[in-house]
């Protein structure tokens, strides 16, 4: 069964890695070859033929489900304009100080699953908050929708893949209108029960420092966990413990299984009617189902319920299957239920870690229980590193210590007492409920103290540079071989190879060369410039009232993925939010040598003014600032710092948000110096910039517009695009390409993230570009 499940998984993953939904000629050829092999070998090699068939079935099943999800996207007729939609709130809303976010199942005028935000409205000095939203409510809402879209950068969170995995057909927000009204509400649903539990417990839990974590352990709602707590759990690789997970469901159902057996055996008459083990198995299934139900039957809890049920059903049917057969059955059932699970990190971590535990439990059975427990903990901690590095490009070095402390605390104190506290509360045992919640909270308080100490070690987080997916795959395979059975005799070779990969000198940028990465930050700007020994960051993207910060979500993950710990210089072109909003997060996470800006008095940190005439050289690469000029009266956008970076053959001009007035000044004073191979579109391609005289002076071959997809300002403007076209300038846009990377050496090599990592579920623009420019 395990081999069958793995082959079905292989077929699912084969389709998941495709660039398009269409089946290519090569893929049709492979499918035909597989069917031919099945037809010719079925009688003699039935097992081999069946496995080939499962690969094709997995491929076809994933293709069918993916096509269904993509074809259910909202039609363009309903996008980018106000529209009245009737539907139902289908998941627990998440309320913050600035908005309420919720999932809305649209019923009319179209059907679809929408991810919406209802923002608070400030008019003059009056703040009108979004209304209280409840799951199960039927609403008529005036919405403005857009297709699924996310930032695409190295090291960043793939929001578009997450939306696809969650089967979200469009995103948008609720417009403030008198047409917004609650029509009616459902009398009962599981999600409504979960919401009632949340509201009932909220007065108690909000007084607890870790009340949000306790709430997550009870009903699977993570919205009350603070950012600082998430950061702590993430930095110590313990996030899997802070919400209802397979571990919790397995432990609770297993505990009930053992407890039921114990009490059942106390009565010999009952034992004669039904064996205690059978009764315990039924109890375990019921408890696992109820716990998963209260958690909202999310995909992770469904996986855990299926895995637990397979084991308990085997006990009920009195079939002593091999544990690996049960494991394979659970894996196959999960993939049939939801093949999109392969896009979830939780899917891989849960099944992988269960496999590691099954393997580890069978090792060293001749040793003492303490030795085996320590061995299993070390094995689990080490075995988690390959997947953590694969998915997050970093590993927590001290995760084994953190988890060896956190797992027992969560498993035997925090989670049981949180559930007991909730039961006691609804049984009107107020004092005992408060006591249970207090002990659960204190266990997390003391645990956090330990985790904070581990977090402070500089070497705790180790980052691995994603040079290529092939390198990452080799690294993961080698790490898996280290924990392979001794009989395979691969451990020594794998350990030696890993050491070579870890300590081999990284590929360095040659002298006189530079790597310039224009990050995808939507409507904003962030450019990372690397020479052989130095790094510069030009602008830091935006920070929004909701708390979303491009420095935190895009720039910091990118720099971490590149293993950059120190920025020699930051230039903030001017004080607009879309250029400076992410600075605070960068300063919190990286050592910075110097900050230059056109408005040093407006930054909330020590900074120097950038002025025309400033220049320096790093590793044979020259940096020159042309704007602003202290002798010229330029303000706001026109006062943006303008930086030219050049080697012996090529150059790039970073222009900030300059407009016609600044462009005229630069042409008058630096006409001969402005010439550049690549230019960043001034003011994101606004029609107030990119004058013909300026384009004549710069004479770029390529212009890059850093702008958001279908942005409100409609940048770059059509008139500017036509001007670029008439000058035979190639226009590249981060909204189409994602992160754009230029390597300037003897030639220019260009990489577009959306093309390099293209997948069928990602948005693509109909553009083409030759990746090699000579």
Instruction: Find where tokens 């250029």 sit.
Output: 579
Supply the pLDDT for residue 366. 78
Note the pLDDT of residue 773.
37
Burial class (CB in 10 A: 0-12, 13-18, 19+), 488: exposed
C-beta neighbour count of 582 within 10 angstroms? 27
Helices (DSSP H) in 410-550: which residue ranges?
415-426, 430-455, 469-482, 491-503, 550
How far is the C-alpha of 727 from the C-alpha of 507, rounded, in Å? 37
Q: Quote the tokens at residue 470.
A: 């092939």
Instruction: Give SS3 for 282.
Output: helix
pLDDT of residue 768: 43
User: Across-strand partners of 660?
Assistant: none
Provide the pLDDT for residue 562. Answer: 87
3-state DSSP call for residue 514?
strand
DSSP 605: S
Given this model, what pLDDT does residue 546 score?
77
pLDDT for the residue numbered 770: 38
Q: What is the pLDDT of residue 142?
A: 95
- How many Cα neighbours within 13 Å face the side chain of 589? 20
DSSP string, 184-242: EE-S--HHHHHHHHHHHHHHHHTTSTTHHHHHHHHH---TTS-HHHHHHHHHTT-GGGS
What pLDDT does 42 receive? 72
Question: What pLDDT does residue 84 have?
Answer: 96
CA torsion, points 87, 89, 90, 96, in degrees to nearest 10?
150
This prediction has a pTM of 0.84
Q: In the chain, which residues have pLDDT < 70?
A: 122-128, 186-187, 242-247, 298-300, 319-321, 392-397, 458-507, 766-774
Structure tokens at 48: 């081999």
597 φ/ψ angles, rounded to the nearest 5 degrees:
-160, 160
Q: pLDDT of 663-681, one tens digit each? A: 999 999 988 899 999 999 9
DSSP state of 410: I
pLDDT at 245: 62
For residue 406, what pLDDT is reported? 85
pLDDT at 459: 59
Tens of pLDDT, residues 139-173: 999 999 999 999 999 988 899 999 999 999 999 99
pLDDT at residue number 299: 65
């Amino acid at each position: 069964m395990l081999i069958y499940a793995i082959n079905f998984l292989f077929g699912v993953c084969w389709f998941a890695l495709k660039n398009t939904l269409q089946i290519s000629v090569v893929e049709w050829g492979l499918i035909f070859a597989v069917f031919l092999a099945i037809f010719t070998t079925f009688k003699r090699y039935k097992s081999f033929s069946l496995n080939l068939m499962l690969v094709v079935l997995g491929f076809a099943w994933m293709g069918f489900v993916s096509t269904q999800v993509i074809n259910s996207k909202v039609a363009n007729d309903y996008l980018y304009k106000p529209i009245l939609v009737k539907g139902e709130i289908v998941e627990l809303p998440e309320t913050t100080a600035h908005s309420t976010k919720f999932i809305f199942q649209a019923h009319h005028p179209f059907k679809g699953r929408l991810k919406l935000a209802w923002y608070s409205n400030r008019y003059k000095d009056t703040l009108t908050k979004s209304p209280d939203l409840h799951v199960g409510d039927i609403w008529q809402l005036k919405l403005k929708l857009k297709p699924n879209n996310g930032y695409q950068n190295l090291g960043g969170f793939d929001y578009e893949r997450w939306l696809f995995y969650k089967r979200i057909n469009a995103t948008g927000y609720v417009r403030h209108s008198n047409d917004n009204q609650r029509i009616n509400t459902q009398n009962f649903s599981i999600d409504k029960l979960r919401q009632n539990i949340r509201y009932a417990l909220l007065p108690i839990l909000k007084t607890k420092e870790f009340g949000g974590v306790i709430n997550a352990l009870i009903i699977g709602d993570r919205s009350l966990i603070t950012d600082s707590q998430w950061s702590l759990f993430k930095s110590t690789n313990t996030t899997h413990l802070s919400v209802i997970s397979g571990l919790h469901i397995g432990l609770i159902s297993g505990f009930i299984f053992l407890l039921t057996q114990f009490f059942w055996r106390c009565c010999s008459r009952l034992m004669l009617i039904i064996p205690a083990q059978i009764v315990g198995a039924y109890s375990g299934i019921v408890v696992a189902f109820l716990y998963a139900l209260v958690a909202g039957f999310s995909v992770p809890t469904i996986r855990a319920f299926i895995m637990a049920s397979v084991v308990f059903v085997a006990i009920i049917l009195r079939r002593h299957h091999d544990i690996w057969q049960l494991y394979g059955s659970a894996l196959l059932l999960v993939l049939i239920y939801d093949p999109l699970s392969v896009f979830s990190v939780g899917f891989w971590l849960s099944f992988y870690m269960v496999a590691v535990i099954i393997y580890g439990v069978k090792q060293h059975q001749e040793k003492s229980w303490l030795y085996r427990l320590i061995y299993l903990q070390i094995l689990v901690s080490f075995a988690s590193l390959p997947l953590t590095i694969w998915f997050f490009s970093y590993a927590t070095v001290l995760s084994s210590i953190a988890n060896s402390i956190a797992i027992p605390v969560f498993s035997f104190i925090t989670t049981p007492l949180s559930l007991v506290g909730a039961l006691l509360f609804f049984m009107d045992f107020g004092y005992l409920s408060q006591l249970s919640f207090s002990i659960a909270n204190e266990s997390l308080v003391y645990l956090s103290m330990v985790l904070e100490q581990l977090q402070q070690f500089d070497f705790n987080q180790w980052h691995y540079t994603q040079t290529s997916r092939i390198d990452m795959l080799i690294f993961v395979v080698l790490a898996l071989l280290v924990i392979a059975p001794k009989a395979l005799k691969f451990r020594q070779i794998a350990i030696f190879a890993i050491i070579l990969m870890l300590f081999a000198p990284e590929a360095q940028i040659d002298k006189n060369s530079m790597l310039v990465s224009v990050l995808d930050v939507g409507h904003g700007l962030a450019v990372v410039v690397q020479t052989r020994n130095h790094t510069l960051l030009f602008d830091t993207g935006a920070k929004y009232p909701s708390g979303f910060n491009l420095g935190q979500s895009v720039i910091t993950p990118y720099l971490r993925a590149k293993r950059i710990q120190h920025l020699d210089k930051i230039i903030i072109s001017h004080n607009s939010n879309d250029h400076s909003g992410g600075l605070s997060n960068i300063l919190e996470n990286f050592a910075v040598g110097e900050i230059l800006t056109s408005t040093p008095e407006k930054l909330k940190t020590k900074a120097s003014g950038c002025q025309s005439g400033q220049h320096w050289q790093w590793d044979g690469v020259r940096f020159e600032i042309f704007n602003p000029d202290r002798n010229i009266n330029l303000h706001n956008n026109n006062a943006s710092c303008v930086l030219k970076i050049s080697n012996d053959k090529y150059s790039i001009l970073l222009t900030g948000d300059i407009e016609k007035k600044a462009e005229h000044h630069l042409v008058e004073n630096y006409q001969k110096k402005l010439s550049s191979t690549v230019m960043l579109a001034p003011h994101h391609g606004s029609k107030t910039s990119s004058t013909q005289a300026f384009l004549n002076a710069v004479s770029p071959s390529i212009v890059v517009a850093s702008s958001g997809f279908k942005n409100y300002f409609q940048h770059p403007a059509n008139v500017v695009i036509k001007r670029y076209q008439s000058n035979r300038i190639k226009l590249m846009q981060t909204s189409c390409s994602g992160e754009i990377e230029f390597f300037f050496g003897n030639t220019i090599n260009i990489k577009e993230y959306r093309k390099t990592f293209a997948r069928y579920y990602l948005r693509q623009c109909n553009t083409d570009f030759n990746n090699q420019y000579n």
